[in-house]
Chain A
Amino acid sequence: MKRLIELITIVLAFLLQCTLFQSLSFAGIVPNLLVVLTSAYGFMGGEREGMFAGMISGLLMDLFYAPFVGLNALIFLYIGYVNGMANRLFYPEDIKFPIFCISLSDASCLILQYMLGFLLRARLDLPYYVLHVMIPELSYTILTAIVLARPLLKLFGFAQRLSRGDEASEDF
C-alpha cells in the first residue's frame, strides 16, 4: 500500500514536471520534483523506500527523455539510498533537516549530471553551468520542497499507517 502511494505520487510528479511545469517554468528552468520525492521518501522511510522511489523516478526519466536507460536510475538510486541513511537523524518536527537533505540531493544530482553528461564531452565552462543551470534549479527545487514538505509528511504518515494496518490485519 505504501509502495503504491509512492509509485502514484512519483508518476504524478514526473507527469507534472514534463507537462505543466514546463509551461510554468521561469527562464526555461524547472524545479526537480523527482529529486524532492526521492529524497523525501528516503529520509522518511529509510534506505529501501529511498531506493524504490529513486529507481522508479530514474527509470521514468530514462525511458522517455534519455538516449539510453539506466544512468538517471543509477544516480537516483544512490540519492535515495544515501537519503535513507539519513533516516536515523530525521524527526518530523524539524523542517530544516529535510530541506537540507533535499538541497544536498539536488546539488549532487546536478553535479553528477554535469560531470557525466557535459564534462565528459569537454564542456568545461563550469562557472557558466553553475550560474545558469545549477543555481536556478536548486533554488526552485528548494522553494518547491519548502511548499511540499508538510503535505508530503502527512501523506507519508498516512501511507505508513495504512500499510501498518495491512500487516496487522494479515497477521491476526
Chain B
Amino acid sequence: MARVQLKRRKVVIPTQYVLVILTVLCLALMILTLFTDVVSSLLSGIGGYTIVPFQNGMTQVGTGFTKQMENLRQVKTVLSENEALAERVAELEQENNQLTIDRYELTELRQLYALDEEYSSYKKIGARVTGKDPGNWYSVFVIDKGTDDGVKLDMNVISGGGLVGIVTKVGPNWAQVRSIIDDNSKVSASVLSTADNLIVAGNLKQMEHGDIDFGQLLDNADRVTVGDKVVTSDISDRYLPGITIGYISQIQMDPNNLTKSGMLTPIVDFEHLDIVLIITQVKEHTGAGAGEQSGL
C-alpha cells in the first residue's frame, strides 16, 4: 500500500505539515464553494452516487420505526386526548364560524389577486425526505430528487399546501432543502388581507415551539390582527407569490414605533415532514423574465 511504500523510502510528511496542508485545503474548498460551482457540483455528484442510496434505505427503516413508536404513543395518549378533544370541539365550532367568514373573504381575495389559478397551475414533483441535518443548529434536510428529475436551485418546496423551504443545493439524485424555520432563512411575505409586506425570519429559539418570527411589518392603520394569513409576497426574488406560510399568532409594535413584529404559526408540520412537493418553476422565469428566458 502507498503508506507502506512511503515508510520504506523514509519520506513521511510530518504530521504538522499534514495539518497545515489540510487546513489550507479546507479554506480553499470554502472559498471555491462560496464563489464558484465547480467543486460543489463535482462533490455533489460523488456524494450522490456513494452516500445517497444508503441514506434512502436507512430513512425507510427510520420512518418505519417512527410509525411504530407513534402507534404506541398514540394508545397512551388517546384517553387524555379524548377529554381535550371534547373541549376542542366547542372551540372548533366557534372557529368554524370564523373560518367560514374567512373562506368567503379568501375566495374573494383570491379572485382579486387571481391567485387561485396561479397557485394550482404550478407544476410540482413529489419527493421524499431522506435525511435531516446531523447537528442541532439548523433545519436543513435532504430529499431524494435531484437534477436528474429536473430539480434546480432556488425551487420552492411545499407540503400540505404550505411553504416548507427552498432548494439550496442540488446533486444528481439528491437536493438540499433549507426550511423556512431555519435560523438562516428569510422570506419576503405579505399579509393576505391587507397586502402589507413583512419579513418572515426563521429563528432557532422559536423552532422548538414550531413558530416563526416575523418583522418589519409596516402597518400604520393597525389592520393586521392575530389570525391573519401570511403568504409569500410578489416582491420576493426567490419565492413564488401566493404560497401560504401560516397564520399570525402574536403581534406587537417594535420599540421604534414604526414597524411591527411578532410570530406566526406555519401550517406545515416541520417535525413530521415525510413527503414534500417541489414546484418546478423558478421565480426568475415568471413575469417579466419569461420572455428573456424563452430566448435561450
Q: Of B26, B59, B137, which is within 8 A of A113 by CB?
A: B137
A77 touches B132 (CB 8 A): no
The total of chain B residues at the interface (CB under 8 A) is 54
A64 touches B142 (CB 8 A): yes
B26 touches A18 (CB 8 A): no
A23 touches B65 (CB 8 A): yes
Q: Of A18, A55, A129, which is within 8 A of B134 by CB?
A: A18
The total of chain A residues at the interface (CB under 8 A) is 58
Number of A-B contacts defined by CB within 8 Å: 150
Verify if A29 is at the interface (C-beta below 8 Å from B).
yes
Report B131-171 CB contacts with A as 1/0, cut-off 8 Å: 11111111010100000000000000000000000001100
Q: Kindly state the separation between the CA atoms of A16 and B34 in the bound complex, as whole angstroms.
A: 28
A74 touches B26 (CB 8 A): yes
Q: Of A27, A55, A58, A68, which is within 8 A of B34 by CB?
A: A68
User: A17-B134, A24-B65, A48-B18 are known contacts. Are A65 and B208 too (CB-CB below 8 A)?
Assistant: no
Chain A residues with CB under 8 Å of B62's CB are 19-20, 22-23
B51-93: which residues lie under 8 A (CB-CB) from chain A? Answer: 51, 54-55, 58-59, 61-63, 65-66, 69
Q: Which residue of B lies closest to A140 (CB)?
A: B136
Chain B residues with CB under 8 Å of A137's CB are 136
Verify if B130 is at the interface (C-beta below 8 Å from A).
yes
Judged by DSSP, the binding face of B is helix
A92-131: which residues lie under 8 A (CB-CB) from chain B? Answer: 113-114, 117-118, 121, 123, 125, 128-129
Smallest Cβ distance from A94 to chain B, in angstroms?
Answer: 24
Smallest Cβ distance from A44 to chain B, in angstroms?
Answer: 16
B136 touches A30 (CB 8 A): yes
> Which 7 residue pairs across A and B have the least CB separation, nearest first?
A70-B30, A18-B131, A70-B29, A19-B58, A74-B26, A23-B66, A68-B33
Report B23-37 CB contacts with A as 1/0, cut-off 8 Å: 100111110111000
